[in-house]
A and B are shown apart, each in its own frame.
Chain A
Amino acid sequence: MKHKDNGGVTFFLNSTKNIFSVFFSLGKRAKKTKAFYLISFIPVVMALVIKFGQILSERSDIGGIYIFTNIIMAFYLQFLILILALFFGTSVCSEELEGKTLTYLTTRPISKSAIILGKYTSYTALAILMTAAGVVCSFLILNVNSLLDFSLYKILLRDLAVLSLGLICYTAFFTFIGTFLKRSIMFGLMFSFGWENVIQYFPGTTQRFAIVHYLKSLLPSTSGGRFSFLLFRLEPSSPGTAIAMLFLITGVFLAFACLLFSLKEYILED
């Protein structure tokens, strides 16, 4: 077999695409993904409970879109995307080391950065699909009475975009953590439910050190109400800055992850 010209950008993108297709289909049917499918559909059950509760109690003081934006989004933003990103992000590198399958990838004619980026994109896509399926179903259930009000779909699209950005950014961060630390889970849990939960309520510049700050900056400020705690003490950045920061964080951590993965020596333990 002849050496192929494999230094170009096209080659790199093709390598990434190939890794993506392998791990997207593997991830889709993996046993461990099933539990996350289940968890991401719990809000759908919750939406059903809420809707039936409203119908049975003949109460309609809280609108479907209000519940969707403030409750379902809270669940996804503060909990689910963190859990999904933590699992899938750390899986990019750690699962190859734990399963000792890294050799099968690193002895192929593809760059190590393509392995990281390919796996990252496949797992992020999976997480976005999982989340989007639950979000769309919950939205439809909660707004079943006003499905013809097309202005609502703008909100759905905006919320989906925020959650997807969140997944893109968090997964990149955890991908880096997974390539850097051997036991990444404890750090990830501390970061997700410690740092991110606390630092966002700090005043001034401090809250800008949390990823969730930029995500919340993309949500409209609610006019008080029962669930306004979500945007409590938020001193939002402008949407442009927030999006730029989220992409910057993603880019930086992915670049670090690729660099580290290329340079670091991973010893598969017996």
Chain B
Amino acid sequence: MTAVIETQNLSKWYRNVLGLSDVTLKIESGITGILGPNGAGKSTFLKLITGQIKPNIGNVTVKGEKIRNNYSLFSIIGFCPEQDSFYEEMTGWQFITSLLKLYFFSTFEIETKAQKALEIVELIKDKDRVIRSYSRGMRQRLKFAQAIAHEPEIFILDEPLNGLDPLGRRKIIRLIKTYKSEGKTIIVSSHVLPEIEAMTKKIILIHQGKIFAQGDIHYIRDLIEAHPHIISIKCSNPRELASRFIREDYVLKVHFGPTQDGLLVETNNRDKFFSLLPSLFVESNIQVEEITSPDDNLQAVFDYLIGK
């Protein structure tokens, strides 16, 4: 398969702050997830591949053409920026139609496409309201609508699910998958692992401006599975609970905190552990105050990967 977007030794720094370092990769059609914690360099990468900022070193090509100041390429790119900013005094309809005007569509085409995009993101009823009266979720959907309205071939979506409710998320995820089935190229960034997991298996892990891993999500999952999960439980009788845990072969270690009001459990099978937990509480008549997973986040995944 030929690469749609290609970067070579892409590096960017803002004065003495490193934004992105030596990124060389090829992105093919289908969905590619860019995963990384906040400040990892995801947005910098997306801004570079859309030519909004220029790299200090390296270059970017989209469909074999340089992107920077090559505005003709934008007729096939739909970009959904991260920042929550709009022409606030426009209505949703005016916003979408105004931006569609810049693609030289006829008035009929503009109206049809705007109507379709707003219907997809379920904003058609609110299209005549000024944007500043929109809720966070509506604004996010409108931002998504402007990226898809001109029916591009390449979608570059910077945190498109931010601020959406679960239903909205599911809908957008489904939509993105539809675009994939149409043979389009979609690049989605997020710092939430399950979000990306729900969309694609192809991921790029970015951390501290560098690509940490690239490829199938199962590879990353396996890496995580190789490390035990830590679960903290605050409860009425931690020693009693501990005695029940050590019988299970997927529990590797149990620690007690200094305050004796809880315990830390290390397990290599998180799913099995959590499925058993409610019945254990009921059987032992233990009152639970709090259950947390101190390492169940993306930062922890990166910590494992970089061997912290």
On whether A and B touch (CB less than 8 Å), the answer reads yes
In the complex, whether B52 has a CB less than 8 A from a CB of chain A is yes
Which residues of A have CB within 8 Å of B88? 99
Within 117-152 of B, Cβ neighbours of A (below 8 Å) are at 146, 150-152
In the complex, whether B76 has a CB less than 8 A from a CB of chain A is yes
- A11-19, A66-74, A169-177, A218-226: which lies at the B interface? A11-19
25 contacts between A and B (CB under 8 A): A1-B150, A3-B73, A3-B76, A4-B104, A6-B71, A15-B102, A18-B101, A22-B102, A26-B87, A30-B89, A100-B83, A100-B85, A103-B83, A104-B87, A104-B99, A104-B146, A107-B52, A107-B77, A108-B102, A110-B71, A262-B69, A265-B53, A267-B14, A267-B53, A270-B83
B50 contacts A14, CB within 8 Å?
no
A109 contacts B72, CB within 8 Å?
yes
Q: Which residue of A lies closest to B50 (CB)?
A: A107
Which residues of A have CB within 8 Å of B101? 18, 21-22
Q: A29, A100, A104, A107 — which one has the most chain B CB atoms within 10 A of its CB?
A: A107
* Contact of A108 (CB < 8 Å), options: B71, B81, B89: B71
In the complex, whether B75 has a CB less than 8 A from a CB of chain A is yes
Q: Which residue of A lies closest to B78 (CB)?
A: A107
Residues of B within 8 A of A (CB): 14, 50-54, 69, 71-77, 79, 81, 83, 85-90, 94, 98-99, 101-104, 146, 150-153
In the complex, whether A38 has a CB less than 8 A from a CB of chain B is no
Count A interface residues, CB 8 Å: 35
B104 contacts A3, CB within 8 Å?
no
**In the assembled complex, how far is the CB of residue A94 from the closest CB belonging to chain B, in whole angstroms?**
14
The answer to whether A103 and B81 touch (CB under 8 A), given A4-B104, A19-B102, A108-B99, is yes
* Contact of A26 (CB < 8 Å), options: B90, B104, B152: B90
A108 contacts B87, CB within 8 Å?
no
* Contact of A106 (CB < 8 Å), options: B52, B76, B87: B52
Q: Which 6 A-B pairs have the closest CB atoms?
A: A100-B85, A108-B102, A109-B75, A107-B79, A109-B74, A22-B98
What CA separation (Å) do A17 and B87 show in the bound complex?
19
Q: Which residue of B lies closest to A4 (CB)?
A: B75
* Contact of B102 (CB < 8 Å), options: A26, A30, A109: A109
What CA separation (Å) do A1 and B94 show in the bound complex?
23
**In the assembled complex, how far is the CB of residue B111 from the closest CB belonging to chain A, in whole angstroms?**
15
In the complex, whether A111 has a CB less than 8 A from a CB of chain B is yes
Q: A1, A4, A109, A262 — which one has the most chain B CB atoms within 10 A of its CB?
A: A109
Q: Which residue of B lies closest to A104 (CB)?
A: B99
Main SS class of interface, A: loop
**In the assembled complex, how far is the CB of residue B70 from the closest CB belonging to chain A, in whole angstroms?**
10
Contacts A107-B77, A108-B74, A109-B73 supplied; 5 other A-B pairs, CB < 8 Å: A1-B75, A26-B98, A101-B86, A265-B53, A265-B54
What CA separation (Å) do A125 and B50 show in the bound complex?
32
* Contact of A112 (CB < 8 Å), options: B69, B75, B90: B69
Q: Which residue of B lies closest to A268 (CB)?
A: B83
Q: Which residue of B lies closest to A262 (CB)?
A: B69
Q: B53, B88, B102 — which one has the most chain A CB atoms within 10 A of its CB?
A: B102
B102 contacts A112, CB within 8 Å?
no
Which residues of A have CB within 8 Å of B103? 108-109
**Interface membership of chain A positions 112-126, coded 1 if the CB is closer than 8 angstroms to chain B and 0 otherwise:** 100000000000000
In the complex, whether A31 has a CB less than 8 A from a CB of chain B is yes
The answer to whether A111 and B71 touch (CB under 8 A), given A21-B101, A26-B87, is yes
What CA separation (Å) do A108 and B152 show in the bound complex?
11
Which residues of A have CB within 8 Å of B151? 1
